[in-house]
Amino acid sequence: MSRRTKIYEGKAKILYEGPEPGTIIQYFKDDATAFNAEKKAILDGKGVLNNRISEYMMLRLGEIGIPTHFIRRLNMREQLCKRVEIVPLEVIVRNIAAGTMSKRLGVEEGEVLPRSIVEFCLKRDDLGDPLVAEEHITAFGWASADEIEEITNLTLRINDYLCGLFAGIGIKLVDFKIEFGRLAVDGGHQIVLADEISPDSCRLWDRETNKKLDKDRFRRDLGGVTEAYTEVATRLGIIKENGNNSNVVSIVKNED
């Protein structure tokens, strides 16, 4: 791994040059950060779980015709992906009020929204990823009007599919963040889903108890973060139920 060329190191992932032109390797770290990296911790096994969960999401979405950057998982912490130019926007979909929407607009956490709402934030850590309007996006050239339309259409399809997928395993998809990239094709480019979909980037609540099964456990010091991620992976059928909650330990120990 040390011979690889690092392209970029983010808060939870490292990107390396891939083995062939036009590919990259995403390495999932155990690092957890919140509040723009003001709060940090290492959570043993989180990277392994997110790699597996994100692989699962990308494969299922690919099957319903969502173009993604995912090629294949290489090992317990790495996946091979197509190299894309990331659109500098965090696309957030909300089905139930929580987090910054509740804070910003005074909508009580847990209130089901009248319809799913798509928000765009500029990817700028130094500015705290501010919410931006389509006007800003097109005026500053972060994406074209056509790209925004394509991204919004794909995002709503992804939300529909994921709401159903999570409902099937007793989980409410409260909200989530996704990113898109431009993939070079035939002299032009295609918008594809990039980055990851994992409990780091989603709010997931148990349907019956509203227990949080996502990164809010870390943000709000609720404890049991990797246990919650393990529960999501278990309900998805990615890791086997063995009754003693040691799944994550065993998959981490068996890392290839």
Give the interface with ligand C5P as residue ranges (CB under 6 A): 90, 92, 98-101, 129, 175-177, 201-203, 215
Q: Which is nearer to ligand C5P, 22 or 130 (CB)?
A: 130
CA distance 215 to 31: 12
Contact indicator for 20, 30 with CB cutoff of 8 Å: no
CA 241 to chain centre: 24
Q: Which is nearer to ligand C5P, 147 or 200 (CB)?
A: 200
Phi, psi (5° rounding) for residue 122? -75, 130
Residue with nearest beta carbon to ligand C5P: 99
Phi, psi (5° rounding) for residue 124? -145, 95
Rounded least distance, CB 250 to ligand C5P, Å: 27
* Coil vs helix vs strand at 134: helix
Q: Which is nearer to ligand C5P, 172 or 177 (CB)?
A: 177
Beta strand pairing call for 131-132 and 112-122: antiparallel
Structure tokens at 202: 């989603």
Q: Which is nearer to ligand C5P, 160 or 255 (CB)?
A: 160
> Which DSSP string corresponds to 142-208?
SS-HHHHHHHHHHHHHHHHHHHHHHHTTTEEEEEEEEEEEEEEETTEEEEEEES--STTTEEEEETT
The helix, strand and coil proportions of the chain, stated in percent and rounded to the nearest 5, come to 30, 35, 35
Q: Which is nearer to ligand C5P, 72 or 220 (CB)?
A: 220
Phi, psi (5° rounding) for residue 205? -115, 140
